[in-house]
Chains A and B, each alone.
Chain A
Amino acid sequence: MEYVLIIIAAVFVSNIVLNQFLGICPFIGVSGKVDTALGMTGAVTFVMVISTLVTYLIYHLILVPFDITYLRTITFILVIASLVQMVEIILKKISPPLYQALGIYLPLITTNCAVLGVAVLAVQKDFNLLGSTVFAIGNAIGFGLALITFSGIREQLDLLNVPARMKGVPIAFIVAGLMALAFMGFAGIV
């Protein structure tokens, strides 16, 4: 039950994009089409879950015992950067179709603050190993939900008669604001 609550909280109540403001760059950048949004969601889910798991283990097995937790930021970003590279190489070898689908999105993930953010938050919130993994999965679902819904709206938005200066990013932000407003309706359910 505890884990179900973690997922519901991460997906709806404190949605990583619309409430925590992490991963805004891909949210605005690759949300033009539903297909690309799906690809990005797949790549982020993959990397987010693995990197949270690995950084959790490194933090509790290396950084805490040696009392060097101030190296957290450097360690985590290096782990994520090398994981992204590794995932890319492994995928290329074992699943070329998946590599083709996620290919261009993988390198972008290194600088996606949602991945580093979830890894740091999972450590800060003192979850156990299973809790951290569930937390990462929940946040990945939340990211996907926000990104895919938003890209659906943006596809429709292209057909509308938006004032010239509002076209593109400004109107996208207003739409995101209204989406965030809708998500606030979930506040307090957990």
Chain B
Amino acid sequence: MNQWKNFSKGFIRENAVFTLFLGLCPTLGVTTTAVNGLGMGIATTFVLVMSNLVVSLIKNLIPNKVRIPCFIVIIASFVTVVELVMKGYAPVLFDALGIFIPLIVVNCLVLGRAEAFASKNTIWSSLVDGMGMGLGFTMALTVLGAVREILGSGAFFGLKMISGEAMLLFILPPGAFIALGYLILLANILKEKTT
């Protein structure tokens, strides 16, 4: 398989958020700022790459009937690793992401890639796939976070850009839904242009 194609599909063509609509809970929940989106994206990417790697390593050892519980245990172990590391080294980010860190376990993107890709492909392809999908997810979260931060608090990565009143709505929950709706629309237009 062409590895570059395998890697780059996660950015637009099969982007988790904009095209497949997977992992939407953290996408909406943590993206009040670009930094939070980036942090969540990196944490998810780590779990995705590691679980893809382990699943594809032991895919022949797992009986078919109990494969889903096995995948979940593998994923949950890496999520616990992320939880403990982040609590120790990035406590501010850990508090900002809150409940969504343990919830990486049930992120449909991670389990979806384990089931649909890593359990059927070679180790190297699974690794590349995990990285591509993870980076695409990170990009989507960072873009959504940046849009909400600029519109909602007039700042970009914490730097104040616009003085005066900003549209507070975009920091609040309704703004997350509306901003993501329009971003998906933009991604659709982009896809039509490129194909």
- Contacts from A to B (Cβ < 8 Å): 18-25, 28-29, 70-74, 76-78, 81-82, 110-113, 116-117, 120-121, 124, 165-166, 169-174, 176-178, 180-181, 184
Of A72, A74, A77, the residue contacting B106 (CB under 8 A) is A77
Q: Is the CB of A177 within 8 A of B106?
A: no
Provide the B143-172 mask, 1 if CB < 8 A to any CB of A, else 0: 000000000000000000000000001001
B185 nearest CB neighbor, chain A only: A170
Q: Is the CB of A28 within 8 A of B177?
A: no
Residues of A with C-beta under 8 A to B83? 70, 73
A-B contact pairs, 28 of them (CB 8 A): A21-B28, A21-B176, A22-B25, A22-B99, A28-B24, A73-B76, A74-B77, A77-B72, A77-B106, A78-B72, A111-B108, A111-B111, A112-B106, A113-B106, A113-B107, A116-B102, A116-B103, A165-B185, A165-B188, A165-B192, A169-B181, A172-B181, A173-B178, A174-B178, A176-B177, A177-B174, A178-B174, A178-B178
Q: Is the CB of A171 within 8 A of B25?
A: no
Question: In B14-36, which residues have CB < 8 Å from any A CB?
Answer: 21-22, 24-26, 28-29
Q: Is the CB of B24 within 8 A of A174?
A: no
Q: Is the CB of A78 within 8 A of B173?
A: no
Give the complex CA separation of A23 and B72 in angstroms.
18
Of B24, B69, B84, B105, the residue contacting A25 (CB under 8 A) is B24
Give the complex CA separation of A76 and B68 in angstroms.
15
The answer to whether A81 and B69 touch (CB under 8 A), given A25-B108, A111-B108, A184-B172, is yes
Give the complex CA separation of A21 and B32 in angstroms.
12
A121 nearest CB neighbor, chain B only: B99
The answer to whether A184 and B189 touch (CB under 8 A), given A77-B105, A81-B72, A116-B103, is no
Of B29, B77, B84, B181, the residue contacting A174 (CB under 8 A) is B181
The answer to whether A116 and B106 touch (CB under 8 A), given A74-B80, A165-B188, A176-B177, is yes
3 interchain residue pairs of minimum CB distance: A173-B181, A177-B177, A177-B178
B interface majority secondary structure: helix
Interface residue tally of chain B, by bracket?
35 or more
Among B26, B105, B175, the most chain A Cβ lie within 10 Å of the Cβ of: B105
Once A and B bind, how many residue pairs between them come within 8 Å at the CB atom? 118
Cβ of B182 < 8 Å from any Cβ of A? yes
- Contacts from B to A (Cβ < 8 Å): 21-22, 24-26, 28-29, 68-69, 72-73, 76-77, 79-80, 83-84, 99, 102-103, 105-108, 111, 169, 172-178, 180-182, 184-185, 188-189, 192
Q: Is the CB of A23 within 8 A of B177?
A: no
Of A81, A113, A169, A180, the residue contacting B184 (CB under 8 A) is A169
A178 nearest CB neighbor, chain B only: B174
Give the complex CA separation of A170 and B179 in angstroms.
10
Residues of B with C-beta under 8 A to A113? 25, 103, 106-107
Residues of A with C-beta under 8 A to B185? 165-166, 170
Q: Is the CB of A20 within 8 A of B105?
A: no
Give the complex CA separation of A29 and B180 in angstroms.
16
A164 nearest CB neighbor, chain B only: B188
The answer to whether A78 and B69 touch (CB under 8 A), given A176-B177, A177-B174, is yes
Q: Is the CB of A24 within 8 A of B28?
A: yes
Among A18, A24, A180, the most chain B Cβ lie within 10 Å of the Cβ of: A24
